[in-house]
């Protein structure tokens, strides 16, 4: 074998020498392949977190806008609920014998509205009620939390000839309870037909005068004062007002009410 010749493989192939390979430009260093241009890696969890944050921000902004829309304009005054004015009485208040809307509380509501007063008139009249019934219903009136109460009771006590001491005691309890609840009161008195006799009528009327002075409440001595010598103001029963009469009664009461009302 010629030592200068490169060895042959078993199949007769002559292996190239390293030096010759180097001369031919072979680089023995390991070749690093060119990087494949992949898309930048993305953390899926971070992407979801960002999405949730964006959704939360949008919801918060929408909620703020909705809240601002629900608020009144800064320049607009707040709208308050009207205070209540309760007409607490018997058949005169209830509107006995009249169509709906023709009792004196209905006319009172219209007159207050026309005059610019912000009150809701509530008709709590009961036909046939006495001062004893007034005491029984008193708790319900106080629970309404009215600003003003017109107290119109006593006529049925007088017509039935009930003891005046009982009428006085019941009305006194009504006024005392309303005062304790800090409710303003207008007491409306009434008289009786002449056939009851001058002494009983005088004593009956004095019950209202004395209680009004004792409790220092607004007072209309005679609720029918505007009906005297007028035609078409009393129903055929000779006791209850017509619609025309109820309108006049409302005029009488509103004159006494105005000093205690607010616009």
Q: What are the catalytic residues?
A: 91, 237, 240
Whole-angstrom distance, CA of residue 38 vs CA of residue 33: 14
Burial of 207 (0-12, 13-18, 19+ CB in 10 A): buried
Residues whose CB falls within 8 Å of the CB of residue 201, separated by 6 or more in sequence, listed in order = 191, 192, 194
Burial of 15 (0-12, 13-18, 19+ CB in 10 A): exposed
- Complete edge-to-edge strand list for the sheet that includes strand 218-220: 119-125, 83-89, 148-152, 184-188, 218-220
Q: Which residue has tokens 């009930």?
A: 162
Q: Residue 238 has which token pair? A: 């000779």
């Amino acid at each position: 074998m010629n030592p200068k010749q490169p060895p042959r493989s078993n199949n007769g192939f002559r292996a190239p020498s390293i030096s010759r390979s180097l001369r031919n430009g072979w680089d023995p260093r390991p070749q690093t392949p060119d990087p494949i241009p992949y898309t930048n890696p993305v953390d899926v969890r971070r992407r979801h977190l960002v999405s949730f944050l964006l959704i939360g921000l949008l919801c918060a902004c929408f909620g703020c806008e909705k809240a601002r829309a629900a608020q009144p304009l800064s320049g607009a005054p707040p709208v308050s609920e009207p205070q209540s004015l309760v007409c607490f009485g018997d058949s005169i208040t209830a509107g006995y014998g009249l169509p709906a809307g023709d009792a004196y509380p209905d006319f009172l509501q219209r007159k207050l509205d026309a005059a610019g007063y912000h009150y809701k008139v509530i008709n709590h009249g009961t036909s046939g009620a006495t001062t004893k019934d007034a005491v029984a219903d008193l708790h319900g009136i106080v629970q309404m939390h009215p600003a003003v109460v017109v107290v119109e009771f006593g006529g049925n006590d007088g017509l039935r000839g009930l003891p005046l001491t009982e009428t006085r005691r019941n009305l006194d309890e009504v006024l005392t309870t309303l005062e304790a609840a800090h409710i303003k009161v207008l007491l409306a008195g009434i008289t009786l037909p002449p056939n009851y006799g001058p002494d009983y009528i005088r004593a009956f009327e004095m019950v209202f005068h004395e209680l009004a002075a004792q409790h220092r409440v607004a007072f209309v001595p005679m609720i029918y004062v505007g009906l005297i010598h007028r035609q078409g103001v009393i129903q055929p029963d000779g006791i209850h007002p017509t619609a025309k009469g109820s309108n006049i009664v409302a005029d009488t009461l509103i004159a006494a009410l105005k000093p205690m009302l607010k616009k």
